[in-house]
């Protein structure tokens, strides 16, 4: 996994609530056996018409907006456990997703793929949507080390939560399997003393 560094970037606004995993990557694209190539089908049914042509009114097809940060409405990533959703976000080139609320499984999947989900207050989220509407070149700075996010248009800044372990993993580009494998003796000890063996 790539190390996560401080990012300052323009951003793509998606002010829709409850964006579910079937919108992020529809099920018909889940037939692949590798992790690559999902970025092209990110938000496929909103992004392309039946013939596969880009729909001009969808934000990813609007050259006005671009950047490594996606800013979305409340409860982003609800629904399925498909990690393909996180692969699609990462594959498209987003490194950060900002929302006022994330579904649990999506949040874990994102973190496991080096994509940082940043939870902000609904007021901060609204100000991000307003800033980018006024100035599509508005930028956000996300500093993982300091756990801060800054709306550079207005100067507003908030802190965000992330557990110290995951933060370390992202900063160093490590994954959980490295950690778990270093713990095999503890697993075997647990197996000997557990209350009921199934």
Partner 1 sequence: MKTLFEKIWDAHVVTEVKDGPTQLYIDRHLVHEVTSPQAFAGLRARGLKVFRPEQTTLTADHNIPTMHQDQPIRDEVSRFQVDTLAKNARDFGLTYYGLNNPKNGIVHVIGPENGYSQPGMTIVCGDSHTSTHGAFGAIAFGIGTSEVEMVLASQCILQTRPKTMRINFEGKLADGVGAKDMALYMISQLTTGGATGYFVEYSGEAVRNLSMEGRMTLCNLSIEMGARGGLVAPDETTFAYLKGREYAPKGDRWEQAIAYWKTLKTDESAKFDKEVTIDATQIKPMITYGTNPGMGMPIDGSIPELESVDTAGKITFEKALNYMGFKPGEKLLGKPIDYVFLGSCTNGRIEDFRVFANYVRGKKKADNVTAWLVPGSWQVRKQIEAEGLDKILEEAGFELRQPGCSACLAMNDDKIPAGKYAVSTSNRNFEGRQGPGSRTILAGPLVAAAAAVTGKISLP
Binding residues for partner 1, rule: CB under 8 A, are 15-18, 20, 22-23, 26-28, 30-35, 45, 50, 73-75, 78-84, 86, 101-105, 108-109, 112-113, 122, 126, 163-166, 175-177, 179-181, 183-184, 186-187, 190-191, 194-196, 198
Q: Give the nearer residue to partner 1 in terms of CB position, either 6 or 190.
A: 190
Query: At its nearest, how many Å lie between partner 1 and the CB of residue 132?
Result: 16
Strand locations in the chain (E): 7-14, 69-72, 96-99, 116-119, 139-143, 148-151, 157-159
Q: Shortest Cβ distance from residue 184 to partner 1 (Å)?
A: 7
Nearer to partner 1, 150 or 166 (CB): 166
| Least distance between partner 1 and beta carbon 97 (Å) | 15
Shortest distance, CB of residue 186 to partner 1, whole angstroms?
5
Would you say 10 or 109 has its CB closer to partner 1?
109
Residue 160: other Cβ atoms inside 10 A: 19
Per DSSP, what are the bridge partners of residue 60?
none
Of 6, 33, 4, 10, residue with least CA distance to 132: 10
Q: Closest CB to partner 1 among 53 and 81?
A: 81
Under 8 Å between Cβ of 150 and 156: yes
Distances (CA, A) of 98 to 125, 145, 156, 158: 8, 17, 15, 12
Shorter beta-carbon distance to partner 1: residue 139 or 162: 162
Q: Closest separation between CB of residue 23 and partner 1, Å?
A: 6
Per the CB < 8 A criterion, the answer to whether 121 and 158 are in contact is yes
The closest of 77, 108, 106 to 176, measured between CA atoms, is 108
Interhelix angle for 104-111 vs 84-92, to 10°? 50
Closest CB to partner 1 among residues 137, 179: 179
Please, what is the minimum distance in Å from the beta carbon of residue 54 to partner 1? 16
């Amino acid at each position: 996994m790539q190390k996560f560094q401080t990012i300052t970037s323009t951003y793509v606004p998606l002010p829709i609530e409850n964006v579910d995993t079937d919108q992020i990557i529809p099920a018909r694209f889940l037939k692949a056996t590798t992790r690559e190539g999902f970025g092209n089908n990110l938000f496929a049914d909103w992004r392309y018409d039946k013939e596969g042509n880009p729909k001009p009114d969808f934000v990813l097809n609007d050259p006005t907006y671009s950047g490594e940060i996606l800013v979305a409405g409340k409860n982003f990533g609800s629904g399925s456990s498909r990690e393909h959703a996180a692969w699609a976000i990462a594959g498209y080139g987003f490194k950060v997703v900002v929302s006022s609320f994330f579904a649990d499984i999506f949040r874990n999947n994102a973190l496991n793929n080096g994509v940082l989900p940043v939870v902000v207050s609904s007021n901060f989220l609204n100000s991000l949507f307003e800033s980018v509407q006024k100035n599509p070149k508005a930028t956000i700075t996300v500093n993982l080390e300091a756990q801060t996010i800054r709306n550079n248009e207005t100067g507003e800044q908030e802190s965000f939560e992330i557990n110290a372990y995951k933060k370390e993993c992202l900063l160093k580009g490590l994954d959980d399997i490295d950690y778990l494998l270093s713990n095999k003796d503890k697993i075997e000890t647990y197996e000997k003393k557990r209350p009921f063996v199934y």
